Structure 1
Amino acid sequence: MAYALEEWEQHYADGRGYRPLGYSERVLLAEHTPAPEGGGRALDVGCGTGELAAHLAGLGYAVDVVDFAASAVERARAEHGHIEGVRWLRLDIERDDPAQLGGEGYDLIALRLMYPFLGDRTRVLHALGKRLRPGGALVVITPVVERTPADKRAIALDEDEIGLLTAGWEETQRLAADDLAVLVLRGPRHAGTKAVEKGPPTGHALTGAVVVVTDDAGRVLLGRSRRNMWELPAGKTSGSESFEEAAVRELAEETGLAATTADATVVTMLTDDSHGVPRLTAVVRISAWTGVLANPEDQLFERWEWHDLHALACLGDVFAPAAQALNAIWPGVIPQLPAIHAYPTTADRPPVPGEPSEAVRLRRRMADAVIAAGWAPSTAVQSALHTVPRHRFAPEKNLATAYDDDLALTTRWDENGRATSSVSATWLQADMTEKLRLEPSEAVFEVGSGGYNAELIAHVVGEARQVVTVDIDPYVVHLAS
């Protein structure tokens, strides 16, 4: 269930709240998530009026309290601001840079009566799980469909959704607090992604298009289907329509987003078979779209979510053509996929627009560290470090890893697990670029490609640049492009 900030701002500004923290909830939290000896750290996501935060502080936690509505944080601080050990933060956990939370981690993360309001639930839960300290717990307190009136079931979870929420954790407990479910999750394992099929297709052969579309933060759109798997917008071609036309049509029919064929590019053709039926799939990259994300075909899909590329390996079941399409665009984001025949159709791939604000902050920090260490004295190389998005050349790495200034990012291994290709440490690439003493408009030939170094060089030599980078491994060339 998506949310509207304006509505919630008005909700709390008008003096309204929501269901008070019940006695049963208090008892269960004290029993199953007591603060560690000597105190612990807790995160209350979606604080409302601050009642849960006050209770957690009473249990001995130092509490970070966040809500995306400023009026909620103001109300919570006004009612409970006298309590020591509580930090009140205005933060949209789905969209904002999480830098305010720091890097210390939490012993307890609580989401009370707010999980159904998240749009990108899978991505948020994955990111929060990464913030748990060893032995810590993530607690979701939520209404359930079977105990919620029909007109309010949009704010409740059904059994399929609870199963998806609890998958990939080493330990799960389901408790009951009156008519609410209390889910206590420990040990995030982030189960690996597996390519799966549906039932046998109809006809003697099947041609279709799968659509790869990203948002303004570079995240890719996937739908949770009623078959309990993740899928890209996709469908068969109809009549004489082109793959680009099919992709634009399917995107609109399934997600409500509008695009034109001018912004649709077939980047790869995939051939395989499904249950003995030959299958030809066009991977179509749509680089621009308009509209508001919706779910017009709710009989086929539960919802649509935007996913971080580095988390695609932790999704669970993904429809096989969708998994192969994602890997065709970003090699390595889903490991250990079965072999498939792929035929790239264009060398000019549409760019992935946008990036998270967290990437901008981390890139600035990385560049500043390299510059402070003396590896990039020239203005041109400094500008390149601040500008070129390193995470694009290792999409399977999380942002903190991608922007570690002292870390080489391994992107390719042989059959024995030995690294065969990597993006070198940033300080080293900066130093090499400085030693080239490049001048604007020079032509550069690079042997051994990872992509990032070539982009640094291209930035330094300017708009009239001619940079050619080659590698012996087609996989590396594909990844770098």
Structure 2
Amino acid sequence: MGITRTDWSEHYSQGRGFRRPGDGEKRLIVEHAPAPEGGRALDVGCGTGEMSAYLVSLGYEVDAVDAVDAALVRARTDHPDTAVRWLRLDIERDDPAPLDDTLYDLVVFRLSVAFVHDRTRVLHALGRRLREGGTVLIITPLAANTSTEKRRIALDEEEITALTCGWSSVQRFAAGDLAALVLRGPCAGTVATERSVPATGYAVAGALTVVTDAQGRVLLGWSKRGMWEIPGGKIEGAESLDGAGARELAEETGLITTGAGVVAILTDAAQGVPRVTAVVRTAGVTGTLVTAEPEKFTRWEWHDLHGLGRLGPVFTPSAQALNWVWPGVIPGLPPVNAYPVAAELAPVPGEPVEAVRRRHAMTDAVIAGGWTSSTAVQEAMRTVPRHAFAPETDLKTA
């Protein structure tokens, strides 16, 4: 299990913190992310506020967020005269409403990104909050420099590769024994890519499973081949297509489907070999998400639908499966022949809290403007998940 919010509360309440920013870290910010006039910065996982206070000294207006109240109490106490907006916010799980729609010139993760599970999703979401020319700066311990018992605070090289995938510009620097990653956007678009196909005169048949969580996010894994993939693999023997998808899901992620059905059959070719892919849709899953086959995958993460078009390299059949379920979510894919299958699956629930908030705000604005007087229309506007019909765009626009 990971570190809980209670663990962090005890950590800060007992007077503990993290080491203060060193001179090397400070020089990196001055050289690669100097504060422009009116510059705004976001310090994620601010802890007791040392980095936030330094950013203020450089001329930034600073929002500092942490998931733990005890950390913010310490930060306010230690920096009483520093003009920082301290916010209690779990950047991975909470509705980002406290940030409003603020745009930033700099977003900093100092010694905190290793504790975020869905790192790619979170970083890309924050990337959409950058002003033109803005920077995301990640300062992290390296697994190679960290003892085994403290491994969870650090990233290894494969995790760094996954973390930086999809950004237009990636620079890496050393800050003592820490690694500093300078990411600039906007994030690069998705590229459908392939992996090796065995030499055979026969077709390759497989099943890929599209899984969503309670917030409507879809599950993808960063593979050892250097691309994002949804759970799946080859069909074994005479097993059913949905059975193959359920089996691969359990073997790769530890999750057990509570119901699955084939929604489409896709056919194309890879390296001259015909390929048949069954797209399996789950009605729900149980169990704990784990990286059950570390020799194949570095990690599994949940991704927002409107971020799928900017992930970087995605295994072509995975991209085509996702685009079948949510048309338009990944543009520019190679052609594929698709044959829909009538699967009797219950609607899959779940949507982000932010989507609900924005939908109600939109409805309130429409009503206040006098553009609808029908109670039925107003109720439809409050309940229909508009973003589900425009997965290629961000929540605010949808």
Looking at structure 2, the residues matched to 130 and 156 of structure 1 have their Cα atoms a distance apart, in angstroms, of 25
| Higher RCO (Cα < 8 Å, 6 or more apart) | 2
**Is the alpha carbon distance of 1:147 and 1:170 closer, same or farther for their aligned partners in structure 2, counting shifts above 3 Å?**
same
Residue 164 of structure 1 deviates from its aligned partner by 4.0
Q: Indicate whether 1:319 and 2:341 are aligned.
A: no
Q: Which residue does the alignment assign to 2:14?
A: 14
**Is the alpha carbon distance of 1:169 and 1:229 closer, same or farther for their aligned partners in structure 2, counting shifts above 3 Å?**
closer
Q: Which residue does the alignment assign to 2:174?
A: 176
Q: Does the residue aligned with 1:306 lie in a helix, a strand or coil?
A: strand
Looking at structure 2, the residues matched to 268 and 347 of structure 1 have their Cα atoms a distance apart, in angstroms, of 9
Among 186, 190, 196, which residue is 1:189 paired with?
Answer: 186
Contact 1:111 1:141 in 2 (8 A): yes
Residue 390 of structure 1 deviates from its aligned partner by 1.0
Among 249, 252, 255, which residue is 1:254 paired with?
Answer: 252
Q: Where do 1:67-78 residues align within 5 Å?
A: 67-78=66-77
Residue 72 of structure 1 deviates from its aligned partner by 1.7
Residue 213 of structure 1 deviates from its aligned partner by 0.6
- The aligned length equals 397
Structure 2 unpaired stretches of 5+:
none
Q: Which residue does the alignment assign to 1:420?
A: none
Looking at structure 2, the residues matched to 199 and 134 of structure 1 have their Cα atoms a distance apart, in angstroms, of 38
Q: Where do 1:359-374 residues align within 5 Å?
A: 359-374=355-370
Q: Does the residue aligned with 2:182 lie in a helix, a strand or coil?
A: strand
Query: Can you list the C-alpha shifts for 1:333-380, whole angstroms capped at 9, x where unaligned?
Result: 111111111110116564331110100110001111111111211222
Q: Indicate whether 1:335 and 2:331 are aligned.
A: yes
Amino acid at match of 1:91: L
Q: Indicate whether 1:159 and 2:157 are aligned.
A: yes
Query: Can you list the C-alpha shifts for 1:212-269, whole angstroms capped at 9, x where unaligned?
Result: 0101110100000111111111022223321122121111111111124xx1011001
What is the CA RMSD across the aligned residues, in angstroms?
A: 2.0
Q: Which residue does the alignment assign to 2:41?
A: 42
Among 172, 193, 198, which residue is 1:201 paired with?
Answer: 198
Contact 1:212 1:221 in 2 (8 A): yes
Looking at structure 2, the residues matched to 20 and 296 of structure 1 have their Cα atoms a distance apart, in angstroms, of 36
Amino acid at match of 2:315: F
Q: Does the residue aligned with 1:325 lie in a helix, a strand or coil?
A: helix
Contact 1:112 1:141 in 2 (8 A): yes
Query: Can you list the C-alpha shifts for 1:410-449, whole angstroms capped at 9, x where unaligned?
Result: xxxxxxxxxxxxxxxxxxxxxxxxxxxxxxxxxxxxxxxx
Q: Where do 1:63-462 residues align within 5 Å?
A: 63-80=62-79, 82-186=80-184, 188-201=185-198, 204-260=202-258, 263-346=259-342, 350-402=346-398
**Is the alpha carbon distance of 1:202 and 1:211 closer, same or farther for their aligned partners in structure 2, counting shifts above 3 Å?**
farther
Q: Does the residue aligned with 2:92 lie in a helix, a strand or coil?
A: coil
Looking at structure 2, the residues matched to 235 and 282 of structure 1 have their Cα atoms a distance apart, in angstroms, of 10
Q: What percentage of aligned pairs have identical amino acids?
A: 60
Looking at structure 2, the residues matched to 237 and 127 of structure 1 have their Cα atoms a distance apart, in angstroms, of 35
Residue 112 of structure 1 deviates from its aligned partner by 0.3
Q: Does the residue aligned with 2:354 lie in a helix, a strand or coil?
A: helix
Amino acid at match of 1:79: D
Contact 1:67 1:73 in 2 (8 A): yes
Residue 171 of structure 1 deviates from its aligned partner by 4.2
**Is the alpha carbon distance of 1:243 and 1:347 closer, same or farther for their aligned partners in structure 2, counting shifts above 3 Å?**
closer
Contact 2:167 2:187 in 1 (8 A): yes
Structure 1 unpaired stretches of 5+:
403-481
Looking at structure 1, the residues matched to 211 and 226 of structure 2 have their Cα atoms a distance apart, in angstroms, of 21
Q: Which residue does the alignment assign to 2:23?
A: 23
Residue 179 of structure 1 deviates from its aligned partner by 0.8
Looking at structure 1, the residues matched to 274 and 133 of structure 2 have their Cα atoms a distance apart, in angstroms, of 48
Task: Flag the structure with larger Rg.
Answer: 1
Contact 1:2 1:118 in 2 (8 A): no
Residue 401 of structure 1 deviates from its aligned partner by 0.6
Amino acid at match of 2:97: A
**Is the alpha carbon distance of 1:278 and 1:285 closer, same or farther for their aligned partners in structure 2, counting shifts above 3 Å?**
same
**Is the alpha carbon distance of 1:350 and 1:326 closer, same or farther for their aligned partners in structure 2, counting shifts above 3 Å?**
farther
Looking at structure 1, the residues matched to 276 and 63 of structure 2 have their Cα atoms a distance apart, in angstroms, of 51
Looking at structure 1, the residues matched to 124 and 143 of structure 2 have their Cα atoms a distance apart, in angstroms, of 24
**Is the alpha carbon distance of 1:345 and 1:234 closer, same or farther for their aligned partners in structure 2, counting shifts above 3 Å?**
same
TM-score by length of 1: 0.78
Looking at structure 2, the residues matched to 173 and 105 of structure 1 have their Cα atoms a distance apart, in angstroms, of 22
Residue 386 of structure 1 deviates from its aligned partner by 0.9
